[in-house]
Chains A and B, each alone.
Chain A
Amino acid sequence: MAEDNNKGRVPTVIADDVHIVYRVNTGGGGKGGATAALNRILRGKKVDEVRGVRKVHAVRGVSFTAYRGEAIGLIGSNGSGKSTLLRAIAGLLPAESGKVYTDGQPSLLGVNAALMNDLTGERNVILGGLAMGMSREQIRERYQGIVDFSGINEKGDFITLPMRTYSSGMAARLRFSIAAAKDHDVLMIDEALATGDRKFQIRSEERIRELRKEAGTVFLVSHSNKSIRDTCDRVLWLEKGELLMDGPTEEVVKAYEKETGK
């Protein structure tokens, strides 16, 4: 990877001092029932608190430039803003201030939200594909591939049953298979490698490597330092929403491991 980095480095994603603030409706804010909420309104505190809205500053001033052909890992403890940052890059969460520039449309590997547990696996494959922006023909072409990859039908004809009848592992496998069926320019993967049994994990890591080859740039969020080492050549370390370190995988992961005491 380093050779083609030296000349003609083409940026694909530029984050310029990105801040992201979540607004959380806390339903009246704080403790207590209806009377307490009413009390707070009557006493007239700060406007935001009265409305029961709390702000969570999830990402604080992150800047970096990603180049074509890079695979970038994001590490950091739970709640450090990794997934939020990915969503901002994908343009799914508007930044409070700062800007994200991208080449084409980055996509997040994840269709979970579009799938419906009450529908059969079959219909979910179609629905998930359409939700990701595939055409009906593309889905028809890849349908068998998706089902085979998920291995859902290995234990009988499960694809024609509603998804709520699946075990959690089976559902996760189907979700990953649907999500991974599409080609992407800038691909972002949020802890998708940990799903399914050992056999499926190996298969999905293979698929991710394939996707990496097709995609311009890949972002990977993971808590497994092993899969970060296996797939990424650059790592961003986020802590409390701030970019703590940005550099080659080995350097950053070592520092991270030292910090977390592993």
Chain B
Amino acid sequence: MSVPPSPDEGLTPAQLAAKYHLSVSGARPGLREYVQQLWGRRHFIMAFSSAKLAAQYSQAKLGQLWQVATPLLNALVYFLIFGLILDAGRGMDKKVYIPFLVTGIFVFTFTQSSVMAGVRAISGNLGLVRALHFPRASLPISFSLQQLQQLLYSMGVLLLIVMAFGNFPTWSWLLVIPALVLQFMFNTGLAMIMARMGSKTPDLAQLMPFIMRTWMYASGVMFSIPVMLKDKPAWIADILQWNPAAVYMDLMRFALIDGYGSENLPPHVWAAAAAWAVLFGVLGFVYFWKSEERYGRG
């Protein structure tokens, strides 16, 4: 191409770029700017999560009814096995045990599905990542929000079950809201950590179900930790009770079930719940952001 001599002749590409204020394409923005970008995309994040939710059952004849039917059936299966066959309640009154069990399942499922969605958030959406610009954290956050919306349907079912076993609305039910907010923060942070790890190693998606199941059995979803471990050294029960999944389950049970009083909770349980939420929320976000420019590579 016959280029006429220009004052730019002889400049290296980097110098030329600097002269005309060009910026490096695909560079990672600073943390503050990243948060601003993310806030600017809040409508996309919301729309993406509710679109995913709506698409989930759109092929089924019963459609969105499955949002409610799925958790209900889930609760029924666990009740059959742990409530009737194995009697994991260990002397707990059925009026307490059944809401106890169902609450545990729903709350744990919230964390579990956020983690599973997080692992695939980047690796399962590479097409999207390679086609459009947006802060990549939108994806894990969006998926966690989808799980939160899903949980709200489950909560409706849960409240009915809880009332069916003789627990009626009291002021303590309001505690559900802060508990959910904290758990959501924890889940999102965890999902972001999993998203970065899963983008490097998609094999995690195969491994995670086993880890999650171990975590579920260790967190006392279907039994009370102190009752089940009363013959073992106390520190085992302490560790299990302080783990975030157990903390969030206990808070929800305490809020909803009359017969499940504060004597079942470890001390300073709200502080623990907040600490887990902040720790994972902040850590996960920063950890995810650190790799922002590399997610397209797969």
Contacts and interface: CB of A to CB of B under 8 A. Distances in A.
B55 interface: yes
Nearest to B40: A133
Given A9-B6, A94-B294, A113-B125, A133 B13 contact: no
A113 B133 contact: no
Contact of A119 (B1, B41, B51, B127): B51
A207 interface: no
Given A106-B25, A113-B128, A247-B1, A99 B16 contact: no
Select the residue from A63, A112, A114 with max chain B CB neighbours within 10 A: A114
A118 B51 CA distance: 9
Chain A interface mostly: mixed
A103 interface: yes
22 contacts: A11-B8, A14-B16, A14-B22, A22-B297, A22-B298, A63-B13, A87-B130, A88-B25, A88-B26, A91-B25, A92-B296, A93-B130, A94-B294, A94-B297, A103-B22, A110-B132, A111-B132, A113-B127, A118-B59, A123-B51, A127-B48, A133-B44
Given A90-B133, A130-B44, A6 B4 contact: yes
Interface residues of B, number: 44
Contacts of A214: none
A10 interface: yes
B25 A87 contact: no
A234 interface: yes
B214 interface: no
The 6 A-B residue pairs with the shortest CB-CB distance, nearest first, are A91-B26, A101-B17, A91-B25, A16-B13, A113-B127, A118-B55
Given A6-B4, A234-B1, A100 B51 contact: no
Contacts of A65: 13, 16
A135 interface: yes
Contacts of A108: 131-132
